[in-house]
Amino acid sequence: MAFGAEHLTKSFYSTTVLKDVSFRIGTGEIVALLGQNGSGKSTLIKVLTGFHAPDNASQANLVLDGQRHPLPLGEPDGVMFRIGAVHQDLGLCSSASVAENLVIAPSRGKNLHPLRWGRVYSEASALLERVKVRDVAPRAIVRDLTPMQQASVAVARAIGQVDKGGLLILDEVTAFLAQDAVSELCDLVKEIAASGVSVLFVSHRLEEIWRLCSRALVLRNGELVADIDLAGSSNPELIDAIVGEPLEWLYPAKEEAWGDSRLRLEIGPNSGVGGLRFEARSGEIVGATGLRGMGYRRLLRALYGVSRETGTLQIDGEVVDLSRLNPSRAYQLGVRLVPSDRMKNGAFGLGSVRENASLPVIGQFVRRGLLRRSIECDWVDGLITDYGIVPRDRDAMFGSLSGGNQQKVVVGHWLETQPRVLLLDEPVEGVDVGARRDIFARIVEVAKRGVTIIFSSTEAEDLAEMCHRVLVFRDGTVAGELEGSAVNEYEINRLSWTVTAGTRGPDV
């Protein structure tokens, strides 16, 4: 066995988040690390990479080439430099060059001497070649790269400190990649493993797990509850192990009943992008999709007033000129947006759960000009209970919550504002199957109350199961519309990929 970990235990205050976890990964083996948000995956990775020290330092070990190394690792022994990790946010400096990210940043200030840029660029080129990235120049600025190129640079940096017999950890690297980029990255991971590097692969997309991995380690409540040979398992068995109970359905039954026309949107041609007409009824769930870069987010941006468009928006008979629409006016009209990047656009990570949850409805807790904290706390406690948010602590820092629980707070606080139109931009991205089920149930519930929902996503299965209609975008306009029995995963993918080679719409 090339790599292993023994007896990893970690607690924060009175809460134990890792409980005596031990596992092994063979040379060149790709093993999945699975579990719901809050199961302990992130803590396990942080212990392995030295960010956290385990509680039981006398027992916790890393095993490399059959030799045990006590945790936490010390840099002088060199073991730490045989473990490379790529996290979901990639950890790149966007304003720096590829070479600076690959060669200078990982040096950690060691062996300081005047830089020889020729040598820096040469080393960067060698790292890029090692992972077969040939379309990225060492002098390129990271922010100018495509998402796939950025992910490749992050993998190359991690590989730079991992030799044969070492470990590469990929933590939700594919979360924000398009389908074709995910395919490229999976091929790259296979090549890396074939060179003798062990890989620990974390993803909530089970199709990637089946494609890449030979085994799956499943964490639940901080314990390693299963080590599954995927060759002899099935998708339902894997989901049951993750959730801890039979998951009879992931998607709730959607009702095929809706009310009168709720909104009408007419957008004129803009900067070479064609016009767009859209209507939706109360209680209807309409999907918006397409390949990334094909402009399927244009609909959401226009409805929320964050893009410069010409045309009109009509909601329940009230007509607004799009050129004068902004988020504040959209809010007055009853439009609410759940953004795709919750930490950047949907919440304040350093604030508490209470502050993030109550902010959109803070006015209802004010009496005679004073905030009634007791009323606010009671309301937040009710939200935590209704949405199953863990931990059940209104004063917990929002940024400390798992991704699924963060998303429950963000979705929950907007649903409680009594919207007319709810815009959902990748509402379950990076969210585990249990939290996905809870969020999907809430979406269907509010649709039954008459709320019009626009569901923007690249996940064809989610759209097929959740939506009454699906609009497929190409070059910023609707290329096709699916209704009734045509709303299925095959048709959504077929229309999404029926794009003239080389065309690319605006990233809106």
What residue spans define the domains of the chain? 3-243, 261-458+469-497
310, 267 Cβ separation under 8 angstroms: yes
477, 273 Cβ separation under 8 angstroms: yes
What's the CA gap between 185 and 181, in Å, rounded?
A: 6
pLDDT of residue 477: 85
Q: Residue 159: in which H helix or E strand, if any?
A: helix 147-159
The residue ranges of DSSP E strands in 203-275, in sequence order, are 215-220, 223-229, 261-267
224-263 CB burial, b ≥16 within 10 A, e <16: bbbebebeeeeeeebbebbbeeeeeebbbebeeebeebbb
What's the CA gap between 85 and 8, in Å, rounded?
A: 18
Which ranges of 39-141 does DSSP label H, i.e. alpha helix?
A: 41-48, 98-99, 117-130
Distance of CA 382 to the CA centre of its chain: 26
What's the CA gap between 168 and 223, in Å, rounded?
A: 22
Nearest to 460 by CA among 163, 113, 179: 179
Domains 3-243 and 261-458+469-497 share a fold: yes
Q: Is the dihedral of CA 395, 400, 402, 404 positive or negative?
A: positive
3-state SS assignment for residue 272: coil
Please give the model's pTM, rounded to 2 decimal places. Answer: 0.65
265-269-272 Cα angle (round to 5)? 140
Beta strands 366-367 and 167-171: pairing type?
Answer: unpaired
Instruction: Name the stretches of the chain with pLDDT < 70.
Output: 1, 14, 37, 74-81, 105-113, 163-165, 176-180, 245-249, 257, 271-272, 292-293, 497-508
Q: Which two tokens stand for residue 317?
A: 């008979």
What is the end-to-end Cα distance of the chain in Å, rounded? Answer: 47
pLDDT of residue 260: 85
Cis peptide before 252 (omega within 30 of 0): no
pLDDT of residue 292: 66
Integer angstrom CA distances of residue 179 from 145, 193, 413, 459, 497: 17, 21, 31, 9, 10
In CATH, the architecture of 261-458+469-497 is 3-Layer(aba) Sandwich (3.40)
Which ranges of 403-450 does DSSP label H, i.e. alpha helix?
A: 403-415, 433-448
pLDDT of residue 232: 86
Q: Which two tokens stand for residue 343?
A: 């930490």
46, 52 Cβ separation under 8 angstroms: yes
pLDDT of residue 497: 66
pLDDT of residue 81: 53
Q: Which two tokens stand for residue 155?
A: 């993998």
130, 163 Cβ separation under 8 angstroms: no
Which ranges of 165-278 does DSSP label H, i.e. alpha helix?
A: 179-194, 206-212, 235-243
Q: Under CATH, what is the fold of the domain 3-243?
A: Rossmann fold (3.40.50)
Name the DSSP class of 391: S
pLDDT of residue 504: 41
Distance of CA 372 to the CA centre of its chain: 35
